[in-house]
């Protein structure tokens, strides 16, 4: 990494988003957060706590009412061509995956490359490589409605990676998936963060998915309620809960902490274990 490279991929200072309504809604209320390269962060919190709002601001899909948001060291308020910035630096995966129904899997993956003028032959080759890396090479010619939900979601992951972004934002990407397909997607995120240095910010309601991340940020009423590293002590505490009625409610029969994604080993924190203050 060059010496002048920004140390934080995401840096928010006093990030605030107010939606005008009969009573103004403070969807985000002065959020300070810094996320480093290679971190895999899960955002949790009750419905309406501001998770999607935060993701939209980080992804430059919305503008803050107040505060500053920097991505890759760039103040988003100062970026001239946000479309281009997004296409180059950020990969998006949403619950509804938004694949274009009339394009094949490979063509869907190629869409972001078209946006930044990658030549057609390169687009084709790279789409196939990406689909191959997600175990979907043999389905490249299929339309979205000829794929299973898990396969479609993996096509959406491939599309998010098309322009090799440093930051991947995912809003409930496993929400519609059974635990096997969800586990595959999560496993891919872990490898992108740990092996390829990508920064992943993933919104989820699923504690098992969140525990596969290295850090969990919980929002409440537009503010950061907790910000914790997923370390061994944390996982052990949760494992101790498993036999209790609350544990069964939270985790069902599923294993805790990334063991679903990586059967042989416990989840590896992206950074040395440490608790952060909230």
Ligand X SMILES: Nc1ncnc2c1ncn2[C@@H]1O[C@H](COP(=O)(O)OP(=O)(O)OP(=O)(O)O)[C@@H](O)[C@H]1O
- Rounded Cα distance between 123 and 144, Å, is 19
- Rounded Cα distance between 70 and 49, Å, is 22
174 binds Mg ion (CB under 5 A): no
Residue among 47 and 180 whose Cβ is closer to Mg ion: 47
Residue among 52 and 104 whose Cβ is closer to ligand X: 52
- List Cα–Cα distances, 16 to 61, 75, 79, 169, 170, in angstroms: 14, 15, 19, 19, 20
**Closest distance to ligand X from the beta carbon of 175 (Å):** 9
113 binds, among Mg ion, ligand X, none (CB under 5 to 8 A by kind): none
Which residues lie closer than 8 Å to 193 by C-beta, 6 or more apart?
A: 38, 39, 40, 199, 200, 214, 270
Among 52, 95, 127, 163, binds Mg ion (CB under 5 A): 52
Please name the helix (run of DSSP H) or strand (run of DSSP E) that holds residue 155, with its range, or none: helix 149-160
27 binds, among Mg ion, ligand X, none (CB under 5 to 8 A by kind): ligand X
**Closest distance to ligand X from the beta carbon of 232 (Å):** 29
Residue among 133 and 176 whose Cβ is closer to ligand X: 176
Cβ neighbours, 10 Å, residue 270:
21
**Closest distance to ligand X from the beta carbon of 153 (Å):** 17
How is the beta sheet containing 223-229 ordered, strand by strand?
90-94, 167-171, 199-203, 40-44, 215-220, 223-229
Which residue of this chain has its Cβ atom nearest to Mg ion in the complex? 52
Please report, as ranges, the residues that interact with ligand X according to CB under 6 A. 19, 21, 25, 27, 45, 47-53
**Closest distance to ligand X from the beta carbon of 61 (Å):** 11
Residue among 55 and 113 whose Cβ is closer to Mg ion: 55
Cβ atoms of 76 and 12 within 8 Å: the answer is: no
248 binds, among ligand X, Mg ion, none (CB under 5 to 8 A by kind): none
Please name the helix (run of DSSP H) or strand (run of DSSP E) that holds residue 203, with its range, or none: strand 199-203
> Where along the sequence are the contacts to Mg ion (CB under 5 A)?
52
């Amino acid at each position: 990494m060059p010496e002048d490279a920004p140390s934080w991929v995401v840096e928010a200072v006093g990030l605030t988003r107010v939606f005008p309504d009969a009573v103004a809604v403070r969807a985000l209320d002065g959020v300070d957060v810094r996320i480093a390269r290679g971190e895999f962060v899960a955002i949790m919190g009750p419905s309406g706590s501001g998770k999607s709002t935060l993701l939209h601001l980080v992804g430059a899909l919305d503008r803050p009412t107040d505060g500053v948001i920097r991505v890759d060291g760039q103040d988003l308020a100062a970026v001239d061509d946000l479309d281009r910035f997004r296409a180059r630096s950020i990969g998006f995966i949403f619950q509804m995956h938004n694949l274009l129904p009339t394009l094949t899997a490979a063509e869907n993956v190629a869409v972001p490359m078209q946006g930044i003028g990658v030549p057609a032959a390169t687009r084709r080759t790279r789409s196939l490589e990406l689909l191959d890396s997600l175990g979907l090479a043999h389905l490249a010619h299929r339309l979205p409605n000829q794929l299973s939900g898990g396969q479609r979601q993996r096509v959406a992951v491939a599309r998010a990676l098309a322009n090799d972004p440093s930051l991947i934002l995912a809003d409930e990407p496993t929400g519609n998936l059974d635990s096997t397909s969800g586990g595959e997607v999560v496993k891919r995120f872990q490898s992108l963060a740990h092996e390829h240095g990508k920064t992943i910010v993933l919104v989820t309601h699923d504690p098992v998915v969140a525990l596969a991340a290295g850090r969990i940020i919980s929002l409440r009423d537009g503010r950061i309620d907790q910000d914790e590293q997923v370390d061994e002590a944390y996982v052990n505490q949760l494992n101790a809960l498993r036999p209790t009625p609350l544990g069964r409610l939270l985790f069902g029969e599923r294993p805790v902490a990334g063991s679903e994604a990586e059967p042989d080993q416990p989840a590896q924190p992206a950074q040395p274990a440490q608790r952060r203050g909230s």
